Chain A
Amino acid sequence: MGKIINREDVIHISNLAEMDYGSDEIDEMTLQLDKIIEHVAKISEVDTGNVSPTSHVLDISNVLREDEPRQSVEPEEALKNAPESSADGFKIPKID
């Protein structure tokens, strides 16, 4: 099994992502994810002691808009891409 990530981690993450995988797929993904993480982990070799965390790749801040209303879309337009809808809104399958 993986050196960094194990089967249980992958099952946990797939549950969080609401994804259903078979046992074989979980095995395969554990190995693949492990490789990816190992590769990315190379970054941790860099000394970042004096570097502040990056929250955005662009060096800009304070992109703000004034509190002025803009045209919304028509409800029909909003519902156009919904798999199912009624006049009152998006139809959502039974929640459990």
Chain B
Amino acid sequence: MEDNTKNLENSNNSERIGNAEEECFETIIGLETHVELSTRTKMFCGCRLSFGEKPNSNTCPVCLGHPGSLPVVNKKAVEYAMKIALALNCRINKHTIFHRKNYFYPDMTKNYQISQFNLPIGIGGYVDVNMGDYTRRVGITRVHMEEDAGKLVHSGTTGRISEADYSIGDFNRAGTPLIEIVTEPEIKSPLEAKQYMITLRNILLYLDVSDCSMEEGSLRCDANISVKLKDSEKLGTRAEIKNLNSFKFIQKALEFEVSRHISVINSGKKVIQQTRHYDDKTQSTKALRSKEEAHDYRYFPDPDLVPIDIDESWIEKIRDSIPELPNQKEKRYRDKFGLSDYDSSLLSGDFGISDYFEKALKAYDANPKGICNWLMGDFSAFLNKDQISINDSKIRPEHLAGLVKLIDDGKISSKIAKSVFEEMYFKGSDPDEIIKEKGLEQISDEGELESIVEEAIKNNPDAVSQYRAGKVKAIGFIVGQVMQKTKGKANPALVNEIIIKKLS
């Protein structure tokens, strides 16, 4: 959530690299995102998906690539892929097939990866990316299904391949269903690239098809970037940056690349087409050693797998299973709840927060704005300070709703509410219990308040005469005295009313 909030606030200075010279250049970025699906089993065999289990304990002849073993497609994975494709406004290819992508690397057991080539499951979609003061529509070229590779650990103290004598292969991850989402080269700045990823991740979380953990590698992306002079018709030469696994790295790596391309072009040299890797320690990218034949994958249809034919009723069934997506939520929050554009976009723009918001609304739906204000205000401030996400907070959504209801019912003042909130935040307790336990319930009993007001009037003749002389503000002083006496528990509006009545 931190990311999202900061981003929208910063979006006005989106042209971070904005000096006069750099404005002559145009940046074009395309992203390829890989998402590991959260199915129970692998793409082509019944091995469980696992994380952190004993190496090679979730393997079988299929995912180990033994000769004679036959892959069989996981139906759920196909349906998740359709769900993603439809949510990204793609057309579904009604006849879709798998290809073999041939290359050698020891993290693959078969020396080919089962992937899709000319008939991917989804084509021709788009994602609207909210940049605060404008929307960037990013075209989605294709959504295709494939399988993940295994994991290699390189021997030696540095963990680097070049310094390792050998590597150890663990194939628990091999065969995990993987969806690749490829954009058109339509992203115009590193910040847009980052915001696209935030938007995409949010949609995937709403779809509930992946845990989308960038730290654990279930969501990662490669970026293609080229830079050209604005008035030049020829496209710039592109560089590919591999394996960007955080929002921050996506932006940083691309910002570095923009500057690098510009200085190469300015020095009269040519940008070389190459694959690069981002190193956060140096905040720069480095070229990877590449073999010339690296991109000759000799795709051909996998003879072990038969085509998948998708009819209209299957598509409709999947379409119906798609929940309300962020942009629809944003609209509902604005139109139905009367939340501001800013609040609607922040709430819907973060799956964790909007999920929390909706849960709170289930407990108390009379004041969405009130719940939203807590989420956007004090609650966010506390979470930011502790650098935790809303899911890790001790406050349960129904308790936050309860707090708002207590204020709405006039049971506690908004001032008391703040201290109740703190108690809730640190201890996770129920606001009803807190106010009972601490005797914080607002005094709205007129009889009880009248006697306290009378005493305050008696003790403060100066303020009373000022008020009677026409200085209306003096009443505030008397209210203050009553609040002090009741330790803030008096209902201030009622106190105000009683004082006016007594003094008139």
Contact = CB atoms under 8 A, between A and B. Distances in A.
Contacts of A66: 75-76
Given A65-B72, A89-B168, A89-B169, A55 B301 contact: yes
A60 interface: yes
Interface stretch (B50-58, B133-141, B183-191, B337-345): B50-58
A63 B55 contact: no
Interface string B59-76: 111001010000011111
Contacts of A93: 166
B239 interface: no
Interface in B27-61: 39-41, 45-48, 54-61
Nearest to A59: B306
Given A55-B307, A72-B47, A78-B171, A92 B40 contact: no
For the complex, would chain B's binding face be called helix, strand, loop or mixed by DSSP majority? loop
B97 A55 contact: yes
B40 A67 contact: yes
Interface string B287-310: 000000100101001010111110
B72 A64 contact: yes
Contacts of A64: 72-75, 78, 308
B167 interface: yes
A95 B167 contact: yes
B306 A90 contact: no
A49 interface: no
Interface in A60-84: 60-75, 78-79, 81
B444 to A, nearest CB: 56
Interface residues of A, number: 36
Contacts of A73: 59-61
Given A55-B97, A89-B56, A65 B74 contact: yes
Contacts of A69: 40-41, 46-48
A88 interface: yes
Interface string B129-171: 0000000000000000000000011100000010011111111
Contacts of B76: 66-67
B72 A56 contact: no
Given A16-B298, A66-B75, A69-B46, A91 B59 contact: no
Contacts of B40: 67-69
Interface string B317-341: 0000000000000000000000000
Interface string B168-198: 1111000000000000000000000000000
A71 B41 CA distance: 11
| Residue among A58, A74, A78, A88 with most chain B CB within 10 A | A78
B307 A56 contact: yes
B77 interface: yes
Contacts of A20: none
A94 interface: yes
Contacts of A55: 97, 301, 307
B461 interface: no
Contact of B59 (A58, A63, A72): A72
A94 to B, nearest CB: 6
Contacts of B426: none
A78 to B, nearest CB: 5
Contacts of A79: 56
B245 to A, nearest CB: 21
Contacts of A67: 39-41, 74-77
Contacts of B102: 16
A86 interface: yes
11 contacts: A56-B301, A56-B305, A61-B309, A64-B74, A72-B48, A72-B58, A75-B56, A89-B171, A91-B169, A92-B167, A95-B152
Given A56-B301, A62-B306, A88-B170, 6 more contacts: A18-B104, A61-B308, A63-B72, A89-B168, A89-B169, A90-B56
Interface of A: 12, 15-16, 18, 55-58, 60-75, 78-79, 81, 86, 88-95
